[in-house]
Chain A
Amino acid sequence: MAMSGGVDSSVAAARMVDAGHEVVGVHLALSRNKTYGDGRQRGCCTLDDARDARRVADKLGIPFYVWDMAEEFAEAVIDDFVEEYRLGHTPNPCLRCNESIKFTAVLDRALAMDFDAVATGHYAQIVQGSAGPELHRAVDPEKDQSYVLGVLQPRQLSHSIFPLGADTKDVIRAEAEARGLLVAQKPDSHDICFIPDGDTAAYLRRQLGSLPGDIVDAESGEVLAQHDGTYAFTIGQRRGLQISRPAANGAPRYVVDVEIGTRRVTVGPPELLDVYALEGIKPIWTTSPLGDTPIELLAQVRAHGVPVPARAHELDERVMVELLVPIRGIALGQAVVLYDGTRVVGSATIASTTRAA
């Protein structure tokens, strides 16, 4: 049972115990920089979180250990995150963490030690289908985390348990309260646990240094401003452009392109952001491969994005996705997760997009 010290994994652990499993709590140490939280910071990696998790385990009467995954995490998640940004992409580190750490490094270690499965406090559901375990959305649309689990393969799913997927967050909070778990009032954790202040641009500037370039108008080609690193820009971004002059027609401008070689950031009107088709690489299928005949599915490109109807098929290790409703502002490096109703079919990393209809 992966225990972060937060509400969700604590209730999940309690439910695992109630279900009669022989449960061992494991807290992942993902950072060698050990600090105590200040009580305000939301995260998953402070010593306070480890202590909270230990208290919950003690309360439940289960053994508890800290597993040091800092090296694996730095390599598979943080280095990848920085490198992707350097390439002008926008990665999702939670997906990478699930793919490489929680459901690979942790799961493999647990299986090697003769445990049967890894349970986590993710909001998602596993349904036994005719072709094997299926990954489905959680019932709570606000909390659904199936998107960041879209990287799981059949073998991983068959050894995973998500005890929370059939309930809403309110039910879980109330249950934490009723069980007397002190973590009931803890805020939800941050999007990116290794950037506790939430300032991704500043983090990347520290990692990558200053790489100045131009901010250019898409329509006039005019240089509007300077920036000190393309990594601070994501396609579709509107805020933080620091352009003093408004567009000719007064309309807001968005980042429409980020070019690494020339360090050029292009801004323009939102219409330029509409994506009609995309190509994904490194596909992962939760149950079985998609196949090369286009089929109608739903496509989602952000953790809390709206799924849109799409037609998708495989072509030479790639996934071709035609979006039947355009999605505005897709950055390369994001994951596209394909759904069949509530079922996760699979995911791929977006390598190119088509913006003209």
Chain B
Amino acid sequence: MSDRSYLDHAATTAMLPAARAAWIAASEHLGNPSSLHAAGRFARKVVEESRESIAADLKTRPSAVIFTAGGTEADNLAVKGLYWHRQQTLGAKEPLRVLASAIEHHAVMDPVAWLGDHEGAMIEWLGVDREARVNTTAIGELLSNNSDVALCTVMWANNEVGTIEPIERIAELCKEHEVPFHTDAVQALGQVPMNLGALGADAVTVSSHKVGGPFGVGALIVNPATGFTPVLHGGGQERDVRSGTLDAPAIAAFAVAIKHAVEHQVEHAQHLRELRNKLVQGVLATVPGVVLNGDPDLLDGGRLPANAHFSFPGCEGDSLLMLLDAAGVDCSTGSACTAGIPEASHVLLAMGVDERTSRASLRFSFGYPSTSADVDRVIAALPGAIERASRAVSSRSA
């Protein structure tokens, strides 16, 4: 057993050996996928086979796959690209509305807020309930006055508390009202079944490093009939919607990682769920006053199997994180950190958790290398860490 336990797979997970092998193999070849000569043709073959493989795995068409340099870029393209295109086609002089859940990752939330601050967009932040789930009835009502809605974006599953959102229903509502729908599926990929053809969203974000591929590559899976105004201008490599020389080796490895994620989704979820449930039950049994945040259903009707997210009232999450780090456990406060400065999580605040409790929270997230010994280590380390962290809090308020 290794002497540390990495339980932060929602931040990034280990690269799969098969993905690494594909990455290295492709990197041994020279060639720019846009070049016309033999070297270019070879690189293009790698990219196009990867595109087809990803499309098949996600049950969509190859022309739907737009490669980007990661989840953040794909989210930016979806939000800004849909907004600007919608503005163009409506010939709208008046600002348009954007419907966005209040629990989006910063990669969605910040571009949405930016549209509000710089383009005059009117933002409707969609509230969530105590389990972090949006209300589809409320969304339906907002969409019924659809003439000025540029887009609706609701993530597939939340990165902090693991709540799975009712995106099939939202996709339906958006289709009914002819409003483009984007969903950030970065966390959901590999943990829940995914059929993008059936879903019919206009844009879906996926990212490689969350499923065992390399960093810095992702994709926006689009409806080819939906228009996007480019965010990056240049050579127009990806259907004139996205420019930049494609990273063929990373894309090859990404495709292998997605194939693995999709083919092994059921047993992977089973493995994650067993570990997660052992952790949740252990923590609830050993830590008085602890609260499990998000959907309480541990059979995962509505929760990512890899996710456990707790509040430890009377402690500060960043003290706990530091003490668990010293005890060999890597976990996360789950919230945004600028230069490591802990902020109260916007997700927990949107769920109605008070600021103090939201600062008392930690996320543990499992991945394919996780074992039962990792859970044991956390459960062994927690009581001591909690005792010291709560002493640190009372020293502050004294």
Contact A109 B340 (CB under 8 A): no
B338 adjacent to A113 (CB under 8 Å): no
In-complex Cβ contact of B341 among A24, A29, A111 (8 A): A29
Task: State the CA gap A224–B388 with chains docked (Å).
Answer: 62
A window 66-119: CB within 8 A of B: 66-68, 72, 105, 108-109, 111-114
A54 and B395 contacting across the interface, CB-CB below 8 Å: no
Partner of A105, one of B323, B338, B339, B396: B396
Is B319 within 8 A of A50, CB to CB?
no
User: How distant is the Cα of A51 from the Cα of B337 in the complex, in angstroms?
Assistant: 13
Assembly CA distance A105 to B342 (angstroms): 17
A113–B319 CB distance below 8 A? yes
Whether B392 contacts A112 by the Cβ 8 Å rule is yes
A276 at interface, CB cutoff 8 A: no
Are A54 and B340 neighbours in the complex by a CB distance under 8 Å? yes
| A180 CB–B CB distance under 8 Å | no
Q: Is B124 an interface residue (CB 8 A)?
A: no
* Inter-subunit contact A24/B391 (CB<8 Å): no
Whether B395 lies near A27 (C-beta < 8 A) is no
Answer whether A113 and B389 are a contact pair too, CB < 8 Å, given A65-B318, A65-B322.
yes
Binding site of A, secondary structure by majority: helix, strand, loop or mixed? mixed
On chain A, the residues within 8 Å of B287 by CB distance are: none
Q: When A34-B339, A34-B341, A63-B326 are in contact, do A114 and B388 touch as well, CB less than 8 Å?
A: yes
- Residues 292-326 of chain B, each 1 if its beta carbon lies under 8 Å from chain A, else 0: 00000000000000000000000000110111011
Which residues of chain B are near A72, meaning CB under 8 Å? Answer: 396
Of B318, B319, B398, which is within 8 A of A108 by CB? Answer: B398
Contact present for A66 and B341 (CB under 8 Å):
yes
Shortest B4–chain A CB gap in Å is 12
Q: Mark A31-52, 1 if CB is under 8 A from B, else 0.
A: 0001000000000000100110
A107 to chain B, nearest CB (A): 9
The interface residues of chain A lying within 8 Å CB-to-CB of B389 are: 113
Question: What 1/0 mask marks residues of chain B from 363 to 398 whose CB sits below 8 Å from any chain A CB?
Answer: 000000000000000000000000011011011101
Nearest CB in chain B to that of A69: its residue? B396
Q: B338: which A residues are within 8 A, CB to CB?
A: 34, 47
Contacts of A29 in B (CB 8 A): 339, 341
Find the B residue at minimum CB distance from A66. Answer: B340
In the complex, which residue of chain A has the Cβ closest to the Cβ of B392? A112
Instruction: Considering the complex, give the chain A residue whose CB is closest to the CB of B318.
Output: A65
**Of the residues A50, A68, A113, contact of B392 by C-beta under 8 Å:** A113
Complex interface: chain B residues within 8 A of A109 (CB): 319, 392, 395-396
Q: In the complex, what distance in Å separates the CA atom of A54 from the CA atom of B319?
A: 17
Complex contacts, B322 vs chain A, CB 8 Å: 24, 63, 65, 113
Residue ID in chain B nearest A51 by CB atoms: B339
What residues on A are CB-neighbors of B326 within 8 Å?
A: 24, 63
CB neighbours (8 Å) of A67 from chain B are 318
**Which A residues are CB-close (under 8 A) to B391?**
112-113
- Chain B residues contacting A24 (CB-CB under 8 Å) are 322, 326
State how many angstroms separate the Cβ of A182 from the closest Cβ of chain B. 17
On chain B, the residues within 8 Å of A114 by CB distance are 388
Q: How far is the CA of A357 from the CA of B321 in the complex (A)?
A: 60
- Please tell me if the beta carbons of A108 and B339 are within 8 angstroms of each other in the complex: no
B341 in contact with A68 (CB, 8 Å): yes
Q: How far is A27 from B339 in the complex, measured between Cα atoms in Å?
A: 10
Q: Contact at B339–A112, with CB atoms within 8 Å?
A: no
With A63-B326, A114-B388 known as contacts, the answer to whether A108 contacts B395 (CB < 8 A) is yes
CB B106 to nearest CB in A, in angstroms, measures 14
Shortest beta-carbon distance, A198 to chain B, in Å? 24
How far in angstroms is the closest Cβ of chain B from A111?
A: 7
Asked if A66 and B342 sit within 8 Å, CB to CB, the answer is yes
Q: Are A63 and B339 in contact (CB under 8 A)?
A: no
CB-defined interface of A309-351 with B at 8 Å, one 1/0 digit per residue? 0000000000000000000000000000000000000000000
List the A side residues contacting B321 at CB < 8 Å: 65
Closest chain B CB from A60 CB (angstroms): 16
* Nearest 3 Cβ contacts at the A-B interface: A108-B395, A112-B391, A66-B340
Task: Write 11 A-B pairs (CB below 8 A) sorted by A numbering.
Answer: A24-B322, A34-B339, A50-B341, A54-B340, A63-B325, A65-B318, A65-B322, A108-B392, A109-B396, A112-B391, A113-B319
Binding site for A on B (CB under 8 A): 318-319, 321-323, 325-326, 338-342, 388-389, 391-392, 394-396, 398
